[in-house]
Amino acid sequence: MSKKQKGQTRVCVYPDWCKGCGLCVAFCPAKVLVLNPFGKAEVANEDECINCGFCELHCPDFAIAIKPRTRNGASQPDPRSGWSDPESEHGRASPPEPTPEPNPNPEE
């Protein structure tokens, strides 16, 4: 589960619940998170996340979720709305449509 492999996760912060205590920012071993000028945690280096789980276990406000990336790079769709997800307009992750593979044998 928590293999020390980078680039496997999406780090999602729910800004409405984050109180900016800074625990996740201070203790993340991979320096994935920063506090933004609004005093909320923000994802800065998502590709560095090693999925250690510290932030999820210690956020006193349950405002961070670490989710696996799907093959095409997006996180799993989240059943709850409102999670900040840089790739979706409405804060909800929606994996992009897979582009059809070019046919390697055009004769067939």
Partner 1 sequence: MADVTQLIHDYLRHNKKFPHVFCAGCGHGIVLGSLIRSVHALGLPKDDVVLVAGIGCSGRMAVYVDFNTVHTTHGRALTFATGIKMANPKLKVICVMGDGDAMSIGGNHLIHAARRNIGVTALILNNQIYGMTGGQCSSATPQGDISMTTPFGSLEKAFDIVEMCKAAGASYVARGTSFHAIQLDRLISSAIMHPGFSVVEVFSPCPTQYGRKNKFRNAVDMYKWLKANTVKVETLKEPDQKPADGRIPIGVFRDVEEPGLEERYFELQRKLMGQNR
Task: Count the neighbouring beta carbons within 10 Å of the beta carbon of residue 94.
Answer: 14
Q: How far is the CB of 74 from partner 1 (least distance, A)?
A: 14
Q: What is the DSSP letter of 67?
A: E
Angstrom CA distances, 76 to 29, 69, 92, 94, stand at 24, 7, 10, 8
Q: Which of 32, 65, 85, 93 binds partner 1 (CB under 8 A)?
A: 65
Q: Is 20 in the site for partner 1 (CB under 8 A)?
A: yes
Report the partner that residue 86 touches, choosing among partner 1, ligand SF4, none (CB closer than 5 to 8 A by kind). none
Count helices and strands in the chain by DSSP H and E runs: 2, 4
Nearer to partner 1 by C-beta: 5 or 105? 5
Rounded Cα distance, 19 and 40, in Å = 7
Of the residues 7, 68, 77, 86, which one makes contact with partner 1 according to CB under 8 A: 68
Give the footprint of partner 1 on this chain (CB under 8 A).
Answer: 1-2, 16-23, 26-27, 51-53, 56-68, 76, 80
